[in-house]
Amino acid sequence: MELVTDEKIRIKVLRSELKGEGLKLDSLVRCIHCGKVFYGNELRVFKKGDSHLVYCKFPDCDGSIIDIIDADDEDFASMFW
């Protein structure tokens, strides 16, 4: 897997992936793996073959796009307070 450094490609992938989760680039999001809050546009994008994979902002966390939720989601937020 290679980290995508081309900002145009990275933003295009993030817009598409976040939209599928009902989120936007400027949404505050929470990773349910590490519990940390950050903006959607800070997610990391990797290229693997012909696909792109989206992961948590923090390199020491292996949370992927399916682990990213709205930071205000009360059901999950209470787990981290």
Q: Is the pLDDT of residue 68 over 80?
A: yes
Tell me what the mean pLDDT of segment 6-35 comes to.
92
Q: Which residue has the tokens 């992936």?
A: 17
pLDDT in tens, 36-64: 999 999 999 999 999 999 999 999 999 99
User: Where residue 73 falls among pLDDT bands split at 50, 70, 90?
Assistant: confident
Cα atoms in the Cβ-side hemisphere of radius 13 Å centred on 4:
23
pLDDT at 21: 83
Model pTM score: 0.85
